[in-house]
Amino acid sequence: MHELGITQNVLSIVLKEATKAGASRVTKVSLKVGEWSTVEPDCLKFYFGILAKGTLAEGAEVAVEQVPVAYACENCGHEYIPLVSAFACPRCSSNKGKLITGRELFVDSIEVENADSGSAKSSGCK
């Protein structure tokens, strides 16, 4: 269970970006989490709720988009979702597949409210 440390990293990325944008509050945090990232989304959300208390991100919604595992066949180039019972390429049966998605773990975007709406206008965002 290493979600606590990971959630701390998530929060520090979120707070840094929010501060950079001059935000008064973070309302939503969108994450992409691969199926094989070894991170449990519910656990991450739980810790985020605790760690974010007293910060700009207190009460922010945490949205997790799970990214499925996908392989690319090194033999024929076919991209496919492997079955646990059959990792081999369904097109050419080669088992020289390489993982192309499924290990992602990143903060995709955040939604914030700006204290100073003037700065939001000048940066071209509304």
Partner 1 sequence: MQIPVVQKVLAANDLLAGEMRAEFEKFGLFVVNIMGSPGAGKTSLIEQTLSRAGDLKIGVVEGDLATSLDAERIARHGAQVVQINTGGACHLDASMVRKALDRIDVTSLDVLIIENVGNLVCPVSFDLGETARVVVCSIPEGDDKVLKYPAIFSSASIVVLNKIDLLPYVPFDLAKFEESIANIGRRLIKVSCNTGDGLDNWMEWLRARQV
Among 73, 102, 110, 114, the residue binding Zn ion under the rule CB under 5 A is: 73
Cβ partners under 8 Å of residue 44, min gap 6? 3, 6, 7, 10, 31, 33, 62, 64
| Of residues 58 and 94, the one with the C-beta less far from partner 1 | 94
Choosing among partner 1, Zn ion, none, which partner's interface includes residue 61 (Cβ < 5 to 8 Å by kind)? none
8 Å CB contact between 17 and 110? yes
CA dist 115 and 123 (Å) reads: 14
Is residue 37 close enough to count as binding partner 1 by CB under 8 A? yes
Q: How many CA atoms lie within 13 A of 20 on its CB side?
A: 7
Instruction: Mark the segment that binds partner 1 (CB under 8 A) among 51-59, 60-68, 107-115.
Output: 107-115
Is residue 61 close enough to count as binding partner 1 by CB under 8 A? no
| Of residues 4 and 99, the one with the C-beta less far from Zn ion | 99
| Of residues 40 and 49, the one with the C-beta less far from partner 1 | 40
